[in-house]
């Protein structure tokens, strides 16, 4: 098995517009990519802009094993870039031009940005002290970047049709446009001049070699003689490669990607008659190519980066690749190795020996798209869209598939109990005998649809389906028998166990239940969340809760009758699944794996202060009041809520506070300076309750 080691990207992480309590984000990694927009090779580094997932930086010193070493998140649409000296000049869509310091490729950071009105930059080229950017496909913006920290807009120029790519040679800019080629004279940056244009079908990308331009686009491959830039001449068109996406040139060979896959190779030793040589068949669809020496680099919609050797151009040979994960959805752990599923056909491994600085290892073929993973002892189980796979993890870093069977159904959760695996799927509740991992046997299937989660102990299985928790006896573990039912008011998303306590992720929050009598679960407490919890995992006295856009929540469940908030981290991205390892929590957040330090939460002392036994909005004082008054309220536990003022017609006239309140007594001020005399109502509202007090303002 070939392993690719990828260091997590660790740099100062700033949470903008995010709230947190007793939790710190310490590392991100195992990132997914959107499709690539460009490849820029500088020495042993490859810079790849990947749209909304930012700039990826790979070390390609060893072409057989490219390694992700750095990433710049732009929260925009990173389309294209140029590297000069220690800076990356990035065409970042609606965020304009961004200039980043990449002197340390492991930790790039933005030093300046400029976002002219109504700009959307899709392509950038440099010449001297100026950056030339294609704006919204309709023209060119010229920016002075002589001081990388203070770029300034100098001039604009409108192209006659949609602009795709631009290449600058000396004082000329060659622009591939929707209706052809435009050649601009740029020797005076504040006054670009159109020197000539040539009608062609659908230009998207182009490359210059000596006096020839090779233009790729919807109309195929065009070869243009620009020996006399004022009079460009079309030499040849190859319509066979219509919908071409990108083009590069090595010696007398031109390489094109198309919307239909592969890399087409043409011999252009006679530019009047380009001759098809071969289609470099690739496992995945690519739309971007670049070349250095006799190496072709390709990337695209499949999130792959590939190095192809062209020493013998007639026999292209794939020599190395890097594949970003499709998604990060579910996690499992064995010792200091974390397992992640979500990618199309593999199991991603993460070495968490140092949890604050994990290392990713791409390792095992999953024989399908895995959507559930579970670990027990030396056995790891994977459930893909059509297969059930058992792997030996005696060495957690080298999982070895040892057995499997065909099983359909999308699996949302899987748990191992004794010699059996219990699966929650959208189509059924399944049982697999794994006593012999080399020969797993599908022994039971019960037609329960839209199962969301499953938990088990030695005597019972608890299955979360859309509207209820179903309880099964394991007197016959191969054939669980339903014995009980719990039906809360709202939809159910997950279930977990902590001894005789069951936790249910229900639309309104986390419900704790006593299951001493499994056939008749008894509600103990409900912790209301601002957003519906989608996942809950138990580790000791902690419950890790993913609340969608509400982020990650950590609850103390040591007293099931009084669930207590210990920590939270609000914001995007959303937690799909979480696991704890010591003082750290690993959060699968669909587009990335994030590491949180919860040391502060674990050191939070027990609360001994007397809290209110009920939610109470106390009387306003003074009342009537002149301009200012105080309102207090008592909360028995933390909650998310809103305090607002309304007039007698029910119109909101002031919002005093909106956000998260801790347990205890709170006091806030009402400011009536901008209100007229009269009667008002102060309302405290949360997903849990709403209460109101009347106030009279007298001026």
- Which CATH number does the domain housing residue 644 bear? 2.60.40.1930
Mean pLDDT of 56-66: 89
Residues 493 and 631 in one domain: no
CB 506 within 8 A of CB 490: yes
Last residue of a domain, one of 602, 632, 666: 602
Look at the pTM and tell me if it is higher than 0.85.
Answer: no
How far apart are alpha carbons 455 and 663 in whole angstroms?
A: 31
Residue 66 in any domain: the answer is: no
Residues 551 and 628 in one domain: no
CB 644 within 8 A of CB 604: no
Neighbours of 126 (CB within 10 A): 16
Residues 635 and 495 in one domain: no
Residue 31 in any domain: the answer is: no
The pLDDT of residue 255: 87
Split into its structural domains, the chain has a count of 2
Mean pLDDT of 396-405: 94
The SS3 call for residue 456 is strand
Residue 187 in any domain: the answer is: no
User: Residues 156-170: pLDDT tens digits?
Assistant: 999 888 888 889 999
∠ CA(48), CA(52), CA(57), 5° rounding? 25
Instruction: Name the token pair of 319.
Output: 């020599």
Buried b (16+ CB within 10 A) or exposed e, 496-505: bbbeebbbbb
**Which residue has 């490669």 as its token pair?**
241
Residues 551 and 689 in one domain: no
Residues 510 and 553 in one domain: yes
Beta-carbon-side half-sphere exposure of residue 323 (alpha carbons within 13 Å): 21
Residues 483 and 630 in one domain: no
Residues 573 and 646 in one domain: no
Give the domain extent around 486: 341-602
How far apart are alpha carbons 268 and 620 in whole angstroms?
A: 85
The pLDDT of residue 450: 95
CB 598 within 8 A of CB 579: no
Residue 151 in any domain: the answer is: no
CA distances from 627 to 576, 624, 681 (A): 47, 10, 15
The pLDDT of residue 17: 38
pLDDT band at 4 (very low <50, low <70, confident <90, very high): very low
The pLDDT of residue 16: 35
The pLDDT of residue 6: 39
CATH of the domain at 416: 2.130.10.10
Residues 474 and 576 in one domain: yes
Residue 185 in any domain: the answer is: no
Closest to 48 (Cα-Cα) out of 464, 40, 408? 40
* pLDDT, mean over the chain: 87
User: Which residues have a Cβ under 8 Å from the Cβ of 399 and sit 6 or more positions away?
Assistant: 339, 347, 349, 363, 364, 380, 391, 392, 393
The pLDDT of residue 693: 93
Residues 536 and 628 in one domain: no
User: Residues 168-221: pLDDT tens digits?
Assistant: 999 999 998 888 899 999 999 999 999 999 988 777 788 888 899 998 887 788
Instruction: Name the token pair of 629.
Output: 């008054």
Residue 134 in any domain: the answer is: no
Last residue of a domain, one of 580, 602, 624: 602
Residues 422 and 535 in one domain: yes
The pLDDT of residue 301: 61
Residue 237 in any domain: the answer is: no
The answer to whether residue 29 scores a pLDDT higher than 70 is no
Mean pLDDT of 498-518: 95
The SS3 call for residue 666 is strand
Residue 671 in any domain: the answer is: yes
Strands (E), 328-457: 330-334, 337-341, 346-351, 359-365, 370-376, 379-384, 387-392, 400-406, 411-417, 420-425, 429-433, 441-446, 451-456
Beta-carbon-side half-sphere exposure of residue 282 (alpha carbons within 13 Å): 32
∠ CA(618), CA(619), CA(620), 5° rounding? 120
Residues 523 and 384 in one domain: yes
Residues 399 and 360 in one domain: yes
Last residue of a domain, one of 550, 569, 602: 602
- Which helix (H) or strand (E) segment holds residue 71: the answer is strand 67-72
């Amino acid at each position: 098995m070939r392993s690719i080691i990828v260091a997590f990207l660790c740099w100062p992480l700033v949470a903008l517009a995010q709230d947190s309590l007793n939790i710190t984000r310490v590392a991100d990694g195992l990132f997914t990519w959107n499709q690539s927009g460009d490849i820029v090779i500088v020495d042993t580094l490859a810079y790849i802009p990947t749209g909304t997932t930012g700039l990826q930086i790979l070390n390609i010193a060893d072409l057989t094993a490219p390694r992700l070493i750095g990433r710049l998140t732009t929260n925009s649409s990173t389309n294209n870039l140029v590297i000069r000296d220690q800076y990356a000049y990035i065409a970042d869509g609606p965020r304009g031009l961004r200039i980043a310091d990449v002197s340390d490729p492991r930790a790039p950071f933005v030093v300046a940005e400029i976002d002219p009105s109504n700009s959307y930059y899709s392509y950038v080229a440099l010449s001297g002290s100026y950056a030339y950017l294609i704006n919204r496909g309709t023209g060119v913006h010229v920016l002075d970047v002589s001081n990388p920290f203070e770029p300034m807009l100098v001039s604009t120029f409108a192209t006659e049709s949609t602009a795709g790519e631009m290449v600058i040679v000396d004082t000329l800019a060659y622009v591939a446009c929707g209706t052809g080629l435009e050649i601009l004279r740029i020797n005076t940056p504040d006054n670009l001049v159109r020197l000539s244009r040539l009608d062609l079908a659908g230009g998207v990308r182009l490359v210059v070699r000596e006096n020839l331009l090779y233009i790729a686009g919807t109309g195929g491959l065009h070869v243009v003689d620009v020996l006399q830039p004022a009079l460009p001449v079309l030499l040849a068109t190859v319509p066979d490669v219509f919908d071409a996406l990108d083009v590069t040139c090595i010696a007398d060979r031109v390489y094109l990607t198309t919307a239909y896959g592969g890399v087409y190779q043409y011999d252009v030793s006679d530019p009047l008659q380009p001759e098809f040589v071969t289609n470099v068949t690739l496992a995945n669809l690519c739309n971007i190519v670049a070349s250095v020496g006799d190496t072709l680099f390709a990337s695209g919609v499949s999130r792959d980066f590939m190095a192809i050797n062209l020493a013998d151009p007639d026999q292209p040979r794939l020599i190395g690749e890097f594949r970003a994960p499709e998604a990060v959805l579910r996690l499992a752990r064995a010792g200091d190795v974390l397992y992640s599923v979500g990618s199309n056909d593999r199991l991603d491994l993460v070495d968490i020996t140092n949890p604050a600085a994990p290392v990713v290892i791409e390792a095992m073929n999953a024989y399908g798209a895995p959507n559930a993973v579970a670990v027990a002892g030396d056995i790891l189980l994977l459930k893909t869209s059509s297969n059930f796979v058992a792997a030996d993890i005696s060495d957690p870093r080298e999982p070895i598939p040892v057995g499997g069977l065909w099983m359909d159904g999308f699996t949302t959760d899987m748990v191992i109990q004794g010699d059996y695996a219990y699966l929650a799927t959208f189509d059924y509740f399944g049982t697999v005998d794994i006593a012999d991992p080399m020969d797993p046997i599908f022994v039971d299937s019960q037609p329960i649809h839209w199962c969301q989660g499953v938990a088990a102990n030695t005597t019972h299985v608890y299955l979360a389906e859309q509207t209820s928790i179903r309880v099964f006896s394991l007197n016959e573990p191969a054939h669980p028998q339903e014995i009980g039912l719990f039906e809360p008011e709202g939809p159910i998303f997950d279930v977990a166990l902590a001894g005789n306590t069951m936790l249910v992720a229900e639309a309104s929050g986390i419900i704790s239940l006593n299951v001493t009598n499994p056939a008749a679960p008894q509600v103990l407490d409900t912790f209301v969340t601002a957003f519906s919890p989608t996942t809950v995992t138990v580790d000791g006295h902690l419950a890790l809760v993913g609340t969608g856009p509400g982020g990650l929540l950590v609850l103390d469940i040591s007293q099931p009758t009084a669930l207590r908030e210990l920590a939270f981290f609000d914001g995007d991205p959303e937690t799909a699944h979480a696991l704890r390892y010591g003082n750290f929590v690993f959060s699968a957040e669909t587009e990335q794996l994030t590491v949180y330090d919860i040391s502060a939460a674990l050191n939070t002392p027990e609360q001994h202060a007397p809290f209110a036994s009920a939610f109470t909005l106390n009387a306003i004082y003074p009342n009537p009041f002149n301009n200012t008054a105080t309102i207090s309220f008592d909360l028995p536990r933390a909650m998310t809520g809103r305090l607002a003022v309304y007039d007698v017609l029910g119109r909101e006239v002031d919002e005093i506070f909106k956000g998260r309140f801790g347990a205890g007594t709170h006091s806030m001020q009402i400011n009536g300076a901008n209100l007229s005399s009269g009667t008002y109502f102060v309302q405290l509202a949360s997903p849990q309750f709403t209460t109101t007090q009347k106030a009279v303002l007298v001026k």
